[in-house]
Structure 1
Amino acid sequence: MTEHADSPPPPVPAEPESMDELRGDCARMAPRWAEAAAGPPPAEHVSPSRIQGVEVPPASAHLLDGMSEYGD
């Protein structure tokens, strides 16, 4: 979005009148912060026996085959 020289500036949010008003504003926003901080739920563990139909291209398989094991 491009602003033109003749367009009015965006509105500036009003400053809180008092600490009580500021605390009230924060209390109303707090539930949103908790959801954002929690993030998505963890992925469910899937047993290797349930993983079927995965195809790996030969070039990728060859590349991985040539890599060292973790911790070498």
Structure 2
Amino acid sequence: MTNLKAYAPAPAPSSTAGLAGDLDGGLASLRGDCARMTPHWAAPERSVSRPVPLSLLHGVTVPATSARLLEAMPEYGN
């Protein structure tokens, strides 16, 4: 089956920062976009995560090369 739907091409970037279609607006433009979207996002209720019992952790394997790599890193192995 062939999908025959056609879509319009993406709008060309404008020369004015902050307008729709501006792909290189910079950080200020991105922050403005995020601020405008904030009312549309709902924060989930805060939940307390509990540790998983070790009995439920099974079937996880780590290649020896990865284990040695992490072991050699001071933040993880030493």
- For the pair shown, the structure with the greater C-alpha radius of gyration is 1
TM beyond 0.5: no
Which of the five TM-score ranges fits, normalised by the shorter chain? Answer: 0.3 to 0.5
